[in-house]
Amino acid sequence: MSKDDFFVVSYKILQDLSNQMEIGEYEPGSFTHVTYGVSRSYWERILTLLFENGYIDGIVLFQILGRIDNSVKIINPQITIKGLEYLEENSTLQKAKNFLKDLAPVIP
């Protein structure tokens, strides 16, 4: 997995959690490493980083003896305000809008 894959999967997770806000229900079977096509350890690492950086909430991190990395228990995953801001700032529509703003002064 490359760092690009990390950002793609992270973005998809945030999008799904954002969409989940409208539904109001967490479906455990739909929020797994299999859904996103990554290994369990990579999935846990992504969730850990999203949680530690304040983009998601509703998970618990714990260390298992003999393992260096954390394990993740998913309780009720939710996107945070910071996660929503990330989606807004990084959406394709937002990028296009910014591009057109920058282009406007150049066009006669």
- The domain locations on the chain are 3-103
- Helix axes 92-103 and 81-90, enclosed angle (nearest 10): 50
- Banded pLDDT at 76 (limits 50, 70, 90): confident
Q: What pTM, to 2 d.p., does this model score?
A: 0.76
Read off the pLDDT of residues 83-104 as tens digits, 9 standing for 90 and up: 999 998 887 656 666 666 776 6
36 near 25, Cβ under 8 Å?
A: no
Task: Give me the phi and psi of 60, to 5 degrees please.
Answer: -120, 130
CATH no. for 3-103: 1.10.10.10
